[in-house]
Structure 1
Amino acid sequence: MAETMEQYMSKTRVDYGSGVARPKIENKDNFELKGGAIPSKTVADAKIAIQEMAEYSQKLHNRISKSRSTETFDGLAAIQAQQKNLGREIKKVNKEVYDAQVRCEQCKGPHYTKYFPLKEERKTLEEAYYTQFGRPFQGGGYKAVALGFYQRNNANPSYKKRRQSMEDTLRKFMSESEMRQIENSNLIK
């Protein structure tokens, strides 16, 4: 009983070749095909039946490979379409970023100078602005606060460094009051 594993395995594989079981067939004449489509047919009919089976097999193979190639083609087309869409989106974003960086030379707005209104249009724009708000037009500059968001620069005049004295303020008030009184007197006459 003290056999090694190799000795034991060699005893169990006596009739086996290279790991493949081969049954011993003593008498080859005992084989007989029973049933099926081909044995009952003549040679010519059997040949036709085999050709039909081969054609059917080929059609089945073509249908399967065609559906696989169609699926692959559809997937490829979808990827290409998505790639084109991404390309367009990137171009749009790049243009917006570039426009925001370039700015108009006339009004400092987020557009090209060539898209700025002509001088005549600018003049009417200034007049409309003046009449609407009652103060002169201050060519609007813009600054980019965030991506896609522009805020107008309000060029607020800096306050005077030196405050007027109380005497200067009163003198100015008195002179304006006197001028109004003279105008009113002239209107009444």
Structure 2
Amino acid sequence: EQPCKSFQLFQIKEGEINNVNIDGILVIEVADLFSRKFVDLLVKGGEGGIYISDTATEEQRKVLEPFFAENVPGFLLVSKCLGVKFVNINLNQEGRTYHITMPYGELKLSLTLGADFENPVRLDNCMFKFFFPDIKICDTHFWKYNDFERDWEFLNRSGVIADFDLEG
């Protein structure tokens, strides 16, 4: 069985790195994980690309690139950065469905409704709870990626959406 692949969007609602405001910036990490074992995931991670919104100013780019390429990947899957690119990233939300596009990939997922048919299903007792206190389960309609010698397309997979405070 192959190790997992990961497509992550960071929607920075508000933040600052080295006194530089980074409010509203979108960043995507796509990872090819080295192992399918959870313990290896935390220790080894994987390799992949980092994509930062081309709306970032030059000042924001100077702090975002090293932050995501060197700091964040330690526990967020990309331990070996294959490259950083500044690209057009779009995030569209209609109801409970999210559609993310960029030149090298695309992801569409919807929050999975719980038994009350109003609120999303949540993961409450899992190992990721330490990093992500509010994990919501999603149905991933599709995601595809084509860059850094990888060409992937997945249909009808699971996914998650989680809010968290990113500090470093």
In the superposition, the TM-score normalised over structure 1's length comes to: 0.19
Larger helix proportion, structure 1 or 2? 1
Larger strand proportion, structure 1 or 2? 2
Larger radius of gyration: 1
In the superposition, the TM-score normalised over structure 2's length comes to: 0.21
Which structure has the higher relative contact order (CA within 8 Å, separation 6+)? 2
